[in-house]
Amino acid sequence: MHVDLRPSPFDPWREVGDRQAQRDDAGKAGAAAVFVGTMRDFNEGETVRAMTLEHYPGMTEKHLGEICEEAGKRWRILDCLVLHRIGDVRIGEAIVLVAVWSAHRGDAMDACRYIIEDLKSRAPFWKKEQLAEGERWVESNTSGYSNNG
Amino acid sequence: MTITVKYFASLREKLGRDQDSIDWEDGLSVSGAWSRANDGEPMPESVMVAVNMQYVKGDVVLSDGDEVAFFPAVTGG
């Protein structure tokens, strides 16, 4: 299990590949589920130019670790990688990566979904968007479907 | 005999500061800590609260040296 906060851009696909290459469990992991969240240029009807991610140093890392531990209790997973940006983020950059390896797809996908949903509702991060005119705090996360903006 | 009180994001901006240090006393609750740090005002219902980096509810009683954090709904990911 590995959790990390990144103050600069990262390539999520390279991170997944590097993590997989580091492990010595060839033949054990039959499934990998990956979620990548990326910075959009729109939100709630407004064009967004950039974003700043504030977090609670110490609690954020601790909470992300606890989410992964809880996922490991609920599903049979082999490894878990969670990376999240902090600070200034630009359009198109990865904000978050959740990758879960397991023997079987059900455990991998369910655990991946669980981790990202808990992260979005309970991990102490806050987004501040820079708009064409002014800036605003994002007040809540969407449900995750297109009809909610 | 002190409690560290932290504020984040829009709440920090609204209050104009990121931290307070208040006196601890036996029986002081999380919501009591908010009031003590904010001129007697009641703790807003919408805030999330953590003590020593664990989520708690407002009626939790504090111990000397605790760190209490108040913040708005989280929006990461």
For residue B21, what is the domain's CATH number? 3.10.20.30
* List of domains in chain A: 2-21+29-136 (3.90.1170.40)
Written as six digits, the tokens of B13 are: 């901006």
Using CB atoms, which residue from A58, A120, A137 is nearest to B76? A120
Give the pTM: 0.94
Place of tokens 């009626």: B59
SS3 state of residue A76:
coil
Task: List, in sequence order, the alpha helices (H) in A43-141.
Answer: 59-74, 105-122
Is residue B77 assigned to a domain?
no
Cβ(A51)–Cβ(A129) under 8 Å? yes
In the sheet with A77-85, reading across from the earlier edge strand, the strands are: A2-6, A77-85, A94-102, A31-38
pLDDT of residue B53: 98
- What pLDDT, in 10s, does the model give residues B31-71? 999 999 999 999 999 999 999 999 999 899 999 999 999 99
- What pLDDT, in 10s, does the model give residues A61-89? 999 999 999 999 999 999 999 999 999 99
Torsion of CA A56, A39, A148, A127, to 10 degrees: 20
Cβ(A126)–Cβ(A45) under 8 Å? no
Query: What's the total number of domains in chain B?
Result: 1
Kindly tell me if the per-residue pLDDT of B23 is higher than 70: yes
Task: List, in sequence order, the alpha helices (H) in chain A.
Answer: 12-22, 59-74, 105-122
Q: Which parts of chain B are beta strand (E)? A: 2-7, 19-23, 48-51, 54-55, 67-71
Among candidate residues B66, B70, B59, the one with its CA nearest the CA of residue B10? B70
Partner-chain contact B8 A123, CB within 8 Å: no
Residues in chain A, pLDDT under 50: 149
Is residue B50 assigned to a domain?
yes
Strands B48-51 and A46-55: unpaired
Is residue B76 assigned to a domain?
no
Strands A125-131 and A135-137: antiparallel
Taken in order B14, B17, B21, B22, the sign of the CA dihedral is negative
Using CB atoms, which residue from A58, A140, A141 is nearest to B53? A58
Tell me the residue range of the domain where B46 lies.
2-71
pLDDT of residue B58: 87
Partner-chain contact A120 B6, CB within 8 Å: no
Cβ(A41)–Cβ(A47) under 8 Å? yes
Using CB atoms, which residue from A58, A124, A138 is nearest to B71? A124
Residues of B with CB under 8 A from a CB of A: 6, 8-10, 13, 48, 50, 53, 55, 69, 71-77
Contacts of B54 by beta carbon, 8 Å cutoff, 6+ apart: none
